[in-house]
Amino acid sequence: MRILQVSAELFPLLKTGGLADIAGALPLALMADGQDARVLLPGFPAIMAGVHGLTPVAEFNAPWGERFALRFGHIATDGAPAMAAYVIDAPALYDRPGNPYEDASRQPYADNHRRFALLGWAAAQLAQSLDPLWQPEVVHAHDWHAALAPAYLHFAREAGQLKGARVGSVFTVHNLAYQGIFAPWTFPDLGLPGAAFQIDGLEYHGQVSFMKGGLCYADRITTVSPTYAREIQTPEQGCGLDGLLRQRSGVLSGILNAVDDKVWSPATDAALVQGFQTPEGRHMAGKARCKSVLQHQLGLAERPDAPLFILVSRLTEQKGLHLVLGGLDALLAQGGQLALLGAGEAWLEEAFRQRAAAAPQSVSVTIGYNEALAHQLFGAGDVTLVPSLFEPCGLTQMYGLKYGSLPLVRRVGGLADTVVDSSLEDLSSGEATGFVFDRFEVADYDRAVRRAFALYQRAPDWRRVRGHAMRRPADWRTAAAQYIDVYREALG
C-alpha cells in the first residue's frame, strides 16, 4: 500500500513532543511490514537540513496564490532503509528560528493558518498527481497541523478531481486540546468551498477549526490509546468536540503508541554510561552506575539508596505538575530525590527552579530541551512521574517501563492503558509495573508516592516489579498492523 504520512514534526529532525517520536517511528514500522510509506513535512530549517539529496518534484500554487516548490529526498535511519520524504520548500513561511509554531515571545505566528493549511494542501495535491511518479492510496494526517488534508481530499473527491483513483484518508488525534483555531477571516485563504464553513465542517463557534477538518472529513479517525478514544467522547474530555466525536464513533478507534527500540533500548543506548538489560537483577549493574554518575553530574547527593524520581516533560497544565510541587516536601522527607528536565510555562519553570535552589542536593531542575539528558534520566531513575490531568497516550511512562524506572501515573488516557498498579498486598499476578492513582489531587498523588517508597524498601519485590515493567511488550509491529487494518477500512 502507498501511504503518505503527514506531520509537522519528525524525530530525529524536529521534535517538540511525542508527536515527533511517533511520526519518526510509524513510517519505519510500515516499511518493515513491506508497505510503501513516505512522509510529507513542512520545510522548517531543521527539516531542510536533515533530508538528504533534496531534488525538485514540482511547483504548485497555494490556495491564496503564492507559488511554492515541493522537493523529495531521504531521511537517514539507523540500520533501516532510508525514509522517503517530501518537503514543502516555502522559506517565507517556514524559515524562522526556534519553535515551529511560535515566535520568540511564545506567541503563535499570525500566519499559522497558512503555514499549516499548506501542509494539508500539499498532501491533497500529492493525491492528485503532483508527483507523477508516486501517488498515495492513503493519506494519514497527524494532529491539527495536518488536519486539513482530509478536508481537501473530501472536496477534491466531490469535485471529481481524484481521477477515479480511490484515496483514503486517516486522521490521528495526538492531542485534542490543541485544535488550530483561527479567526473567520482566514477562511478564504484556505481554498475550501463555502460548504466547508458550517457546523458539519470547519466552523466552530464562528471560528475556523483545523481539528474539525480532520474530524469531519477523514474516512477513519484514530487516537493514540483506546482509553483516550473513549474519553474524548465525553463532555469532560471532549474539548468541545465530544458531540462530533460521538457522531463519528463508528469510524473512531484507539491504537496504542509503541516504543522505537532503535532509539529507546537500555542495552544499546549510547547516551548511557553503561547499558543494562536483563531485569532479573543479574545484569542491572549498569543502571546503578547510570544513577551514581547522574547524581554526580546533577549535583545531587550521591546516595544509591535514595529513590530517584525523574520527570521529563513539557511544563504545561496537562502534565499535572502542581501535584509534583504539592507533594515535593513529603517526597523529600521520605528520603527521595527529584530530577526534572522540562520547558514550558514560565511560572512552572520558576517554581521548580526555586525548589532546586532551596534543596540542591535533593532536587535537580534542568530547564530546556536535551535529548541525551532525557535518556540518562530514564537510565538512572527509579520512578518516572507522569501525574497528568489528561494524557492521550504518553510516552515517558513507556520509556520509564523499558528503562526500569517504574512509572507513577494517574489513571487517565494512555497512562491507564500502559501501567498496571502494584498493589502491595498482591504482587503475585506478575502483571504489576508501576503505581497508579485516580483522583487529580495531591493527597492521592502523595499516597502513590508513599507506596513507591514502601515497595522500594522491599528490594526483592521491587526487582520483581521492575522485571515485569522492563519486559512489557511495546513494539511497533503490533501498532503498525493495527494502522494497516485502519488504512484498509479507509480504502473501503
* Binding residues for ligand ADP (CB under 6 A): 17-19, 21, 312-314, 341-343, 369-371, 374, 393-396
Site stretch for ligand GLC (CB under 6 A), options 239-247, 263-271, 354-362, 389-397? 389-397
Residue the block writes with cell 526500569: 404
Q: What is the dihedral of CA 197, 202, 204, 206, to 10 degrees?
A: -30
314 binds, among ligand GLC, ligand ADP, none (CB under 5 to 8 A by kind): ligand ADP
- Rank residues 218 and 328 by Cβ distance to ligand GLC and give the closer one: 218
Radius of gyration of the chain (CA): 23
What are 324's strand-pairing partners? none
- Rank residues 167 and 474 by Cβ distance to ligand ADP and give the closer one: 474
Which one of 2, 12, 17, 111 is in contact with ligand GLC (CB under 6 A)?
17
DSSP state of 471: H
307 binds, among ligand GLC, ligand ADP, none (CB under 5 to 8 A by kind): none
- Rank residues 257 and 362 by Cβ distance to ligand GLC and give the closer one: 257
347 binds, among ligand GLC, ligand ADP, none (CB under 5 to 8 A by kind): none
What are 139's strand-pairing partners? 4, 169
- The residue length of the chain stands at 492
Q: Which residues contact 207 (CB under 8 A, 6 or more apart)?
A: 181, 182, 183, 184
Rounded Cα gap, residues 372 and 290, in angstroms: 13
Q: Give the nearest distance from C-beta 397 to ligand ADP in angstroms.
A: 7
* Residue 170: its H or E element: strand 168-173
The verdict on 272 binding ligand GLC (CB under 6 A) reads no
Q: Give the nearest distance from C-beta 399 to ligand ADP in angstroms.
A: 6
Among residues 480, 485, 486, which one has the least CA distance to residue 37?
Answer: 480
The verdict on 321 binding ligand GLC (CB under 6 A) reads no
The verdict on 266 binding ligand GLC (CB under 6 A) reads no
Q: Give the nearest distance from C-beta 106 to ligand ADP in angstroms.
A: 15
Contact (Cβ atoms closer than 8 angstroms) between residue 176 and residue 205:
no
- Rank residues 12 and 17 by Cβ distance to ligand ADP and give the closer one: 17
- Rank residues 371 and 485 by Cβ distance to ligand ADP and give the closer one: 371
95 binds, among ligand GLC, ligand ADP, none (CB under 5 to 8 A by kind): none
Which one of 9, 15, 18, 311 is in contact with ligand GLC (CB under 6 A)?
18
The verdict on 175 binding ligand GLC (CB under 6 A) reads yes
* Residue 140: its H or E element: strand 138-142
Alpha carbons within 13 A on the beta-carbon side of 416:
17
* Residue 87: its H or E element: strand 83-89
Q: Give the nearest distance from C-beta 374 to ligand ADP in angstroms.
A: 4
Which one of 9, 269, 382, 391 is in contact with ligand GLC (CB under 6 A)?
391
Q: Give the nearest distance from C-beta 393 to ligand ADP in angstroms.
A: 6
- Rank residues 17 and 360 by Cβ distance to ligand ADP and give the closer one: 17
Q: Which residues contact 325 (CB under 8 A, 6 or more apart)?
A: 351, 352, 355
Asked whether the bond before 91 is cis by omega within 30 degrees of 0, the reply is no
Among residues 383, 382, 386, which one has the least CA distance to residue 290?
Answer: 382
313 binds, among ligand GLC, ligand ADP, none (CB under 5 to 8 A by kind): ligand ADP
In DSSP notation, 330-374 reads HHHHTT-EEEEEEEE-HHHHHHHHHHHHH-TTTEEEEES--HHHH
Q: Give the nearest distance from C-beta 72 to ligand ADP in angstroms.
A: 28
Return residues touching ligand GLC (CB under 6 A): 17-19, 22, 174-175, 224, 257, 391-395, 414
